[in-house]
Structure 1
Amino acid sequence: MPETADTLAREYGISRDDADAFAVRSHAYAEAAWRAGRFDAEVVPVEVPGKKGAVTRVTRDEGIRPDTTVESLAGLRALRPDGVCTAGNSSQQNDAAAGCLVVSATYLDRHGLVPMARLRGWGAAGCDPARMGIGPVPATRKALEKSGVTLAQMDLIELNEAFAAQALAALKGMGVEDLGRVNVNGSGISLGHPIGATGVRILATLLHEMERREARFGLEAMCIGGGMGLAAVFERP
């Protein structure tokens, strides 16, 4: 995986400083979100039984490092001699779970539910496995076309941070210049990349933030190992 991100870094002109700064941003945004209580509505505490009946109650993400700086990250060795990816500007692998309800309009009416958003459209695409992290670019193009909207209309964008270099390359490929609407509460580098749960974790964060801001459109996009990309457009009712 790091090799693919380093490949994209060379292709899109992403420097080590760029990647480290993006990682610092992720930690700072995630810490600020926790302090402001922005994750409270989307997180369920988990109790983990231990030895001799002891129970550990996990109430917040454990991987956030608010004291991370560009200077501290600069001291880490790159995973490849000529690469930009390090343990500090890559996502964390952690344990987590996430869930959501996807139902029809008929089901909503029958049960009197109020939806957080409507799935306006989605797209899946593939790319050369050696450029795995760029998958969100063609996937986003498909999702936007199917949804009949443009990237400029997206009020918020959640792009998984598998690697800082990969995320920055994908954003460049998508034509996103305004990072002020991207991963505004942190993402994989700070919150972690729980395999099998990341897609819904991102969705939960996106929809709650859309609700807070009364945003209309939100885009979720992520790369998938092997060269696949997925993207989806959501619209608040």
Structure 2
Amino acid sequence: MQFSIAIMTSCALYNTRTHLCRHLEVVIVSAVRTPMGSFRGSLSTVPATKLGSIAIKGAIEKAGIPVEEVKEVYMGNVLQAGEGQAPARQALLGAGESCITQINKHNNMHLLFRNLLCNFSKKSVCDLCYLPHVGLPLCTPATTINKVCASGMKSIMMAAQSLMCGHQDVMVAGGMESMSQVPYVMAREAPPYGGVKMEDLIVKDGLTDVYNKFHMGSCAENTAKNSGISREEQDAFAINSYSRSKAAWESGVLAKEVVPVSIPQKGKPDIVVKEDEEYRKVDFSKVPKLKAVFQKENGTVTAANASTLNDGAAALVLMTTDAAKRLNITPLAKIVAFADAAVAPIDFPIAPAFAVPKVLKAAGVKKEDIAMWEINEAFSVVVLANIKMLDIDPNKVNINGGAVSLGHPIGMSGARIVGHMVHNLKSGQYGLAGICNGGGGASAVLIQKY
């Protein structure tokens, strides 16, 4: 009884102490991602949680910090059906047979008791919680974030909030998705005459406007019409995206942010994937000949000028400047400001144009001060419409290509574009990333290179 009272008292003091917001400066010390595989392509056998594990491990290794320094993990993940409980927690622990065996070996009341105590101790991690074979300490909390396409970016924003308030001092944030492994489902009801209807959860949970009962591509068509953006403009943008991505890979620009994925083979050497798959799969001569997908008559959105279904993960290590000094780490960039915005669900493609001004105002920065823009290419028309509404220089937007050519694993993309800016800005420059999400939302993050 006395032990229970002591624990509850400690909890109350802990919550009171750590939720007092002091607005500490937050920096990014590493940012990595896996390659992005095509739908049913090179990474299709790798679960989202495993891709997340690879990204988390890579980010921590790049940061050069002990794993026990990471106090919490947030990972975006949209299409969670069939992945099992708590996908971010699985990614943190490096889910797999060897991981489960190791955990079970230590899973007894003594460990649980020690875990409970270590959460309130002054030590960074309990000795028994740290299992090197698994990766991060077992007592490290993890949370899965779902804000549709903005999930990865929202994870970064929420981690930054926690760090700014002094609730934690070192965190990992990112996103992961395996669209290749998303299951089909049927309703749990008595089978009707004529058989059951299977639904594709990629479409139902990821790509359908639940308010208007149509595909996100129909929203893109609506934006193209309202913004006066032609099929030819969208096709030209897509071709430019593919060209920029190809040039970025050939010059080594994209390789520096990628950690390879090793896929075990039965009786054969592992297959190592270390390059994006999608950007090589294009025939420019066919782009203007493709039929519109979502609006048969006078439609403008095609398979070529829209993003694709993909697999991948990204992760960043964030910490306070005090933690960076304590760990003797030179930051790559600092998080200056971030914001969300919302519009009518059908207008989700233009939502970033409402989030970006909020960020600029909060930071006291002008749009002319932004050296690099990343606007997620859910569809070519998304970027074209936001460039028009924000009146920004298109030559500063998605300079190394984007989701149309590289791919769009929806839980990952928001984290990917922030990480990409981290690697490509020059010292002192500002970079602003914006991403729309289903339901009429958007998120945006402003960073400054150290």
Counterpart for residue 114 of structure 1: 330
Distance in 1 (alpha carbons) for counterparts of 2:428 and 2:254:
17
Match of 1:134 among 350, 353, 375: 350
More strand by share: 2
Give yes or no for the alignment of 1:220 onto 2:433.
Answer: yes
| Match runs of 1:1-237 below 5 Å | 1-65=216-280, 68-69=283-284, 71-79=285-293, 80-81=295-296, 82-176=298-392, 178-211=393-426, 214=427, 216-237=429-450
- Work out whether residues 31 and 66 of structure 1, in 8 Å CA contact, stay in contact via their aligned partners in 2: no
Residues 430, 449 of structure 2: 8 Å contact kept: yes
* Runs (5+) with no aligned partner, structure 2: 1-215
Q: Is the 8 A contact 2:418 2:445 kept in 1?
A: no
> 1:27, 1:68 within 8 Å by CA — same for their partners in 2?
no
Q: What is the distance in 2 between the residues matched to 1:68 and 1:9? A: 24
Query: Counterparts of 1:133 and 1:23 in 2: how far apart (Å)?
Result: 16
3-state SS, counterpart of residue 118 of structure 1: strand
- C-alpha distance in structure 2 between counterparts of 1:162 and 1:67, whole Å: 17
Q: TM-score, normalised by structure 1?
A: 0.94
Select between 163-172 and 151-160 the one with higher mean Cα deviation. Answer: 163-172
What SS does the aligned partner of 2:280 have? coil
Contact 1:24–1:68 (Cα < 8 Å) also in 2: no
CA distance in 2, matches of 1:88, 1:52: 38
Q: Is the 8 A contact 1:28 1:66 kept in 2?
A: no
Structure 1 residue 217: Cα displacement? 0.6
Contact 2:255–2:275 at 8 Å: present in 1 too?
A: no
Unpaired runs of 5+ residues, structure 1, are none
- Name which of structure 1's ranges 95-104 and 52-61 shifts more when overlaid on structure 2: 52-61
How many angstroms apart in 2 are the aligned matches of 1:195 and 1:137? 20
Please state how far the C-alpha of 1:221 moved relative to its aligned partner: 0.5
1:97-127 Cα shifts (integer Å, max 9, x gaps)? 1000111111111111111111110110001
In structure 2, how many angstroms separate the alpha carbons of the residues matched to 1:194 and 1:52?
30
Using a 3 Å threshold, how does the CA distance of structure 1 residues 128 and 41 change in structure 2: closer, same or farther? same
Distance 2:428 2:292 in 1: 39
Q: Secondary structure at the match of 1:90?
A: coil
1:68 Cα offset (Å): 3.8
Distance change >3 Å, CA 66–CA 94, structure 1 → 2:
closer
Which structure has more relative contact order (CA 8 Å, sep 6+)? It is 1
| Root-mean-square deviation over aligned CA pairs | 1.4
SS in 2 for 1:193: coil
Paired with 1:67 and 1:28, the residues of 2 have a C-alpha distance of 10
